């Protein structure tokens, strides 16, 4: 690994390497990416000869930049912390790619004067940071958001993303040793369905399963933003919502199914008794949007937190944060389809680790071929189906029916997709992405298919040349909002030209 150090004006000072025999050396390097924080961090120890102490200090000065190329992608980090040990001639360096202008710049209370796009909010709270929007997968969605307290630009951006059910990431364009662009990318969901299989004793050295109910809640007292000119934040008082599972009562949001499992044993009897309630603070000044934010959060909070920390022998080529992978541990009885929520790479130690979450346990629905079969050809397949079916990673706007999950496969030059979905919250008139087909499964022309809904209602299934599967045009004679109770079924195939 080679990294280049630059000053605040991006003038190159010097370089350091983990491999070169001379010059400044790098030890104990670690790059970490997490979905929740959006940013990536890089840390390492810089070793210098005593005669080069002043040069090393100049290179590692806090606020300086670190440039490098990794997997053919440019990376740029700002040095946030450094710690020099003069006895060992070393400087420990910790850097983040979000940059000082986002990490330390503070914004005050703010209330939008009406529905705004995510681009509007991101540009407003990253102004003069040097970052620009590059990818925006949610160009048309709008929200009326509000913040009552101060927060850094980085914190505000994460809050905006959460309000739009989006995920953020940073990327950089580097030509030679010149940083030409810093990008903020807005995703419906980072990553892709990689199709990568991780097997115990092959790609996987060790699996650690962590479970926790420390943050569990079955109900929320919901508080929103403060409208302009008002002194108090909005609540859900006066708002009506009940989808059979989640329902609003006063200023509270409750989850019936979770309460059946986790109801407080000694609670008094009553309609809303037994719920484990926490405070949820949203950013919207619109009750409908605030309710949607709270439901999305409570869906996660009402479940056991379960993560799988996996020590890898190597990182499969092209694996990135947010990707969906398949974990196979025959001896441990673990079969998962799961997203990479955290990725840690220590090149010097040849240590690679992923933390998996947003998982779907496959132990009851999948079988793994007999151990007598050569492991290089074994595969994980749906029980009772032919091989080749893969499970789609859905956009947060939709939920899959537990008995009819969304799947796709390629067989004899034809791509098949199928499943049953419902909106995760009442969906307004318009269109939305369901999931995206990976490369190799995409049509050579855009496809629109009319599908049956409930009663006289119809809807349009779209398949674009970029692989995006979309929902639109729900209704009978006009485009209307789609309720959470609707079951949208589809089963379609097309030939690859």
| Distance (Å, whole) CA 155 – CA 158 | 5
What is the CA angle 130-131-135, rounded to 5? Answer: 160
Q: Which domains does the chain have, with CATH numbers?
A: 2-97 (2.40.30), 102-187 (3.55.50), 192-208+310-385 (no CATH), 219-301 (no CATH), 388-497 (2.60.40.2460)
Query: Tokens representing 137?
Result: 């997968």
Give me the residue label for tokens 């909002």.
481
Residue 208's nearest CA partner among 411, 38, 353 is 353
Residue 32's nearest CA partner among 345, 454, 259 is 345
Listed in sequence order, the residues at least 6 apart from 235 whose beta carbon sits closer than 8 Å to its beta carbon are 222, 223, 224, 251
User: What letters, b where the CB count within 10 A reaches 16 and e where it falls short, cover 73-83?
Assistant: ebbbbbbbebe
Taking CA atoms, 431 is separated from 33, 102, 281, 471, in Å, by 31, 33, 28, 5
Which residues make beta-bridge pairs with 200?
Answer: 204
| Distance (Å, whole) CA 291 – CA 295 | 6
| Distance (Å, whole) CA 59 – CA 483 | 58
Task: Provide the residue-wise pLDDT of the chain in tens; the chain has 497 residues.
Answer: 899 999 999 999 999 998 877 889 999 999 999 988 888 999 999 999 999 999 999 999 999 999 998 878 899 999 999 999 999 999 999 999 988 889 888 999 899 999 999 999 999 999 989 999 999 999 998 988 988 888 899 999 999 998 888 999 999 999 988 999 999 999 988 988 877 888 888 889 998 888 888 889 999 999 998 888 888 899 999 999 998 899 999 999 999 999 988 987 655 565 677 899 999 998 888 898 899 889 988 998 998 888 888 898 888 888 889 998 888 888 777 788 888 989 999 988 888 888 887 654 443 333 332 222 232 222 333 333 334 678 787 887 888 876 677 888 888 788 999 998 988 888 888 888 999 998 888 998 899 998 888 878 889 999 999 899 999 998 888 888 888 888 899 999 898 87
Q: What is this structure's pTM?
A: 0.66
- Return the H-helix or E-strand segment holding 293: helix 287-301
CB 277 within 8 A of CB 219: yes
Q: pLDDT at position 383, please?
A: 33
Q: pLDDT at position 375, please?
A: 29
- CA torsion sign for 171, 174, 179, 180 is negative
59 phi and psi angles, rounded to 5 deg? -65, -45
Q: pLDDT at position 424, please?
A: 81
């Amino acid at each position: 690994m080679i990294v280049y150090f630059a000053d605040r004006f991006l003038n190159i000072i010097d370089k350091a390497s983990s491999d070169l025999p001379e010059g400044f050396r790098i030890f104990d390097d670690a790059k970490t990416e997490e979905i929740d924080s959006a940013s990536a961090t890089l840390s390492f120890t810089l070793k210098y000869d005593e005669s080069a102490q002043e040069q090393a200090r100049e290179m590692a000065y806090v606020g300086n930049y670190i440039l490098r190329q990794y997997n053919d992608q440019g990376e740029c980090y700002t040095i946030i912390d450094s710690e020099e040990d003069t006895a060992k001639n070393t400087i420990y360096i910790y850097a983040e790619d979000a940059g000082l202008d986002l990490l330390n710049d503070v914004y005050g209370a703010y209330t939008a004067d009406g529905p705004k796009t995510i681009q509007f909010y991101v540009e407003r709270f990253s102004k003069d940071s040097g970052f620009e929007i590059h990818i925006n997968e949610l160009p048309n969605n709008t929200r009326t958001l509000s913040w009552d307290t101060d927060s850094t630009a980085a914190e505000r951006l994460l809050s905006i993303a959460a309000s739009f059910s989006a995920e953020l990431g940073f990327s950089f364009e580097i030509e030679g040793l010149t940083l030409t662009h810093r990008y903020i990318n807005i995703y419906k969901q980072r990553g892709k369905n990689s199709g990568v299989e991780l097997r115990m004793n092959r790609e996987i050295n060790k699996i650690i399963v962590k479970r926790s109910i420390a943050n569990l809640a079955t109900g929320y007292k919901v508080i929103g933003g403060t409208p302009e000119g008002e002194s108090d934040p909005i609540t859900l008082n006066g708002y009506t919502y009940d989808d059979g599972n989640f329902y609003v009562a006063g200023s509270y949001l409750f989850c019936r199914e979770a309460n059946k499992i986790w109801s407080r044993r000694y609670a008094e009897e009553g309609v809303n008794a037994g719920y484990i309630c926490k405070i949820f603070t949203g950013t919207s000044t619109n009750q409908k949007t605030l309710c949607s934010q709270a439901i999305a959060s409570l869906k996660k909070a009402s479940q056991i937190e379960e993560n799988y920390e996996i020590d890898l022998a190597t990182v499969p080529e092209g694996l990135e944060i947010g990707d969906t992978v398949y974990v196979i541990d025959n001896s441990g009885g673990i079969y998962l389809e799961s997203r990479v929520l955290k990725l840690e790479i220590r090149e010097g130690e040849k240590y690679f680790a992923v933390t998996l979450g947003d998982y779907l346990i496959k132990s009851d629905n999948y079988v793994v071929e007999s151990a007598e079969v050569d492991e290089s050809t074994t595969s994980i397949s749906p029980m009772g189906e032919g091989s080749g079916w893969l499970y789609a990673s859905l956009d947060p706007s939709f939920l899959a029916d537990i008995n009819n999950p969304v799947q796709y496969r390629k067989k004899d030059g034809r791509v098949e997709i199928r499943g049953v979905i419902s909106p995760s919250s009442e969906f307004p008139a318009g269109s939305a992405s369901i999931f995206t087909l990976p490369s190799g499964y995409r049509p050579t022309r855009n496809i629109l298919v009319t599908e049956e809904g409930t009663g006289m209602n119809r809807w349009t299934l779209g398949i674009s040349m970029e692989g995006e599967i979309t929902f639109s045009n729900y209704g009978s004679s006009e485009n209307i909002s789609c309720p959470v109770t609707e079951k949208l079924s589809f089963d379609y195939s097309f030939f690859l030209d």
